[in-house]
């Protein structure tokens, strides 16, 4: 599907779902709707559909708003909010609940209620005055200290249904918002008495001044007897983020639904408020990708010689998946977050498979206790080294480290018939204690592992041993990046190794003699990473040289390659080969592969060019050629000639 077709489809979907939403029968979740909205905004920022708000009804008279009732800028996560806050620096940030109901404007003349207007298209809405008179919180007159207040203008609020009312009378409706939307627009007005208005804005139209800033406005609404939204003051964006996390936990105890916070400045900016989409305030929404929960304990996962903290917390649901654990990466991350046992933490899963803890909710009076750090390797008893970014066992002969390296080598080199179980058993039996030992295995060494107590068909069973032996022997020749990645150096996988190879360290000796400073000078390598890589190369240099110099391993010479300089991203299913095999084909021909579509990608390979997938859409936007599997194979063959 091309860009124009994608935009048209998004327009149709947004209009359809928006109408259903404002008619009180929402079809999809807010998160799903926001994704469609964001996708259209990215493809066509000035699209007219993005300027439309609400839906019209043919059953009511049309009335023009006093205050524009457009849409708000929105942030779906702390990163987006901070990006907005960087451009909007205020002395203090006023933060209100973002009510999940239906917007309504009350219009008053000299303090007397005259009409109520729905949101409609943002400029004109439906006159539902008769229904509004039945709602709680809609005042027939504005009075203060017993005296009529001569206010002429608009009062804006949100019509909501409480959870208790929904449970008792309208449980057949999907949620409180849908029920409220439906009831407030009933022609006969039945059911409006179950609704409640909570206000948060006011605008005088006759020049009289009743308040000079947002705080005074809320106080004035309270003094006049209106229900108002909760307001707090945060002195910086970080406190706003912390407050949001706190509210995410507390909202389940509120009597009505909220779906985020509204953040604004204290000063009243009439020019900004008159826009269809005000710039100086933002809806900081909650997300299905976030949840607040209680940290119960820290487990330490041992990967090779590295100890990684794993948080165990009360189960939460993120994007439809139940989650109870998340990696904390390393001791430094854990310390910076300030996690303790019993802490309330924000868990996120933003487009990632693995959830993580993003922050700690600070609460007074909460009973917590410090996390106990392991000091001794539980395998060999050696004192662990805490470098902050890594907690590890320094003993090169630690059995956990050795086994992990053997398994890593088998996985990276892709010796498929030599599986994890067999490697582990060979290690336990002390037949394989190093990478060199793998290549010294004979068929006779392997035969016992393909026999069992109930079988004496040794000759038949040795076919398995023969297969493994041949598989090992067929994996003696490999690229330098694969060879290096197989040695299980912390953070030094095939992709990073290939970067070093491409930057000029294209043989083993150049790689082993490179200094930490030289490695750090390569784009994408930080100082700490360079140090870890250098230490790992030094530690394994003797065995690396021995394997190559003795001819056990042959490193492929680095040449131009048929696909040199070209990059490929594969998406969807392939017919003639597995995706991993296709990626291997590219790498062997000197090309590179990417897991996502970026502006420097050469080709996106897919057998469904018309798919509306995010990768196809992004490729179309960036003008990246999209080819199918057949075209990919032709390209490979053509470049080989």
Q: What is the pLDDT of residues 446-486, one digit of tens each?
A: 988 887 644 545 455 578 899 999 999 999 999 899 999 99
**Of 62, 74, 98, 285, which one is the catalytic site residue?**
98
Q: Does the pLDDT at position 271 exceed 90?
A: no
- Distance, in Å, from the CA atom of 596 to the CA atom of 239, rounded to the nearest integer, reads 34
- Distance, in Å, from the CA atom of 422 to the CA atom of 411, rounded to the nearest integer, reads 13
pLDDT band at 609 (very low <50, low <70, confident <90, very high): confident
For residue 605, the cross-strand partners are 570, 627
Q: Which residue has the higher pLDDT, 20 or 454?
A: 20
pLDDT tens column, 623-634: 899 999 999 998
Coil, strand or helix at 308: strand
Q: Does the pLDDT at position 376 exceed 50?
A: yes
Q: Which residue has the higher pLDDT, 340 or 504?
A: 340
Which H or E run includes 532?
helix 527-549
Whether residue 196 lies in the annotated active site: no
Coil, strand or helix at 261: strand
Q: Flag the least confident range among 27-41, 269-283, 556-570.
A: 27-41
- Distance, in Å, from the CA atom of 558 to the CA atom of 551, rounded to the nearest integer, reads 18
The structure's pTM equals 0.57
Beta strands 306-318; 391-392: pairing state? antiparallel
Coil, strand or helix at 116: strand
- Distance, in Å, from the CA atom of 218 to the CA atom of 205, rounded to the nearest integer, reads 18
pLDDT tens column, 612-621: 888 888 888 8
Which H or E run includes 322?
strand 321-327
Would you say the C-alpha torsion 441, 444, 447, 453 has a positive or negative sign? negative
User: Residues 151, 211: contact at Cβ < 8 Å?
Assistant: no
Residue range 59-83: average pLDDT?
Answer: 87
- pLDDT value for 453: 45
pLDDT band at 66 (very low <50, low <70, confident <90, very high): very high
């Amino acid at each position: 599907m091309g860009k124009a077709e994608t935009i048209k489809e998004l327009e149709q979907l947004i209009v359809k779902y928006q109408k259903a939403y404002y008619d009180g029968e929402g079809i999809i979740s807010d998160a799903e709707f926001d994704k469609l909205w964001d996708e259209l905004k990215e493809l066509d920022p000035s699209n007219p559909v993005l300027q439309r708000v609400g839906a019209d009804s043919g059953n009511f008279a049309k009335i023009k708003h006093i205050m524009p009732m457009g849409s708000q800028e929105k942030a779906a996560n702390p990163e987006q909010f901070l990006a907005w806050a960087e451009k909007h620096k205020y002395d203090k940030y006023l933060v209100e609940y973002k009510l999940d109901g239906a917007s309504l404007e009350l219009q008053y003349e000299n303090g007397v209620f005259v009409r109520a207007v729905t949101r409609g298209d943002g400029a004109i809405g439906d006159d539902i005055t008769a229904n509004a008179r039945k709602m709680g919180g809609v005042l027939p007159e504005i009075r203060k200290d017993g005296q009529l207040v001569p206010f002429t203008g608009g009062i804006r609020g949100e019509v909501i249904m409480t959870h208790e009312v929904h449970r008792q009378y309208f449980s057949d409706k999907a949620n409180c918002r849908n029920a409220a939307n439906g009831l407030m627009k009933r022609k006969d007005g039945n059911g409006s008495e179950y609704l409640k208005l909570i206000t948060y804005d006011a605008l005088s139209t006759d020049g009289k001044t009743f308040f000079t800033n947002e705080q005074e406005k809320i106080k004035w609404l309270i003094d006049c007897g209106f229900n108002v939204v909760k307001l707090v003051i945060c002195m910086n964006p970080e406190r706003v983020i912390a407050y949001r996390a706190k509210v995410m936990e507390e909202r389940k105890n509120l009597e009505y639904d909220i779906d985020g916070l509204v953040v604004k400045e204290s000063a009243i900016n009439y020019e900004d408020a008159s826009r269809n989409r005000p710039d100086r305030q933002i809806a900081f929404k909650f997300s299905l990708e976030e949840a607040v929960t209680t940290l119960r304990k820290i487990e330490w996962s041992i990967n090779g010689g590295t100890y990684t903290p794993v948080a165990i917390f009360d189960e939460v649901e993120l994007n439809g998946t139940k989650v109870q654990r998340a990696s904390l990466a390393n001791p430094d991350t854990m310390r910076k977050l300030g996690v303790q046992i019993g802490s309330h933490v924000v868990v996120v899963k933003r487009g990632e498979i693995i959830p993580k803890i993003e922050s700690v909710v600070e609460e007074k009076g909460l009973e917590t206790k410090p996390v106990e750090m392991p000091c001794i390797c539980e395998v060999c008893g050696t004192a662990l080294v805490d470098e902050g970014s890594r907690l590890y066992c320094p003993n090169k002969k630690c059995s956990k480290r050795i086994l992990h390296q053997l398994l890593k080598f088998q996985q990276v080199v892709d010796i498929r018939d030599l599986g994890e179980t067999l490697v582990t058993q060979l290690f336990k039996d002390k037949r394989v204690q190093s990478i060199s030992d793998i290549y010294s295995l004979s068929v006779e060494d392997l035969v016992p592992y393909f026999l069992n107590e109930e079988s004496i068909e040794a000759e038949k069973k040795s076919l398995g041993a023969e297969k493994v032996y041949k598989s090992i022997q067929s994996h003696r020749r490999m690229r330098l990046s694969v060879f290096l990645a197989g040695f299980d150096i912390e953070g030094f996988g095939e992709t990073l190794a290939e970067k070093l190879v491409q930057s000029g360290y294209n043989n083993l000796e150049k790689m082993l003699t490179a200094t930490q400073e030289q490695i750090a000078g390569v784009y994408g390598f930080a100082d700490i990473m360079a140090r870890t890589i250098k230490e790992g190369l030094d530690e394994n240099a003797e065995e690396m040289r021995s394997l190559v110099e003795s001819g056990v391993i042959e490193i492929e010479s680095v040449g131009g390659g048929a696909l040199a300089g070209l990059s490929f991203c594969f998406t969807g299913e392939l017919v003639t080969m597995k995706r991993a095999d296709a990626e291997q084909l590219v790498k062997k021909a000197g090309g590179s592969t990417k897991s996502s579509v970026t502006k420097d990608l050469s080709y996106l390979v897919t057998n469904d060019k018309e798919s509306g997938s995010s990768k196809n859409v992004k490729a179309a936007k960036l003008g990246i050629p999209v080819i199918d599997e057949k075209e990919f194979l032709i390209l490979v063959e053509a470049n080989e000639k």
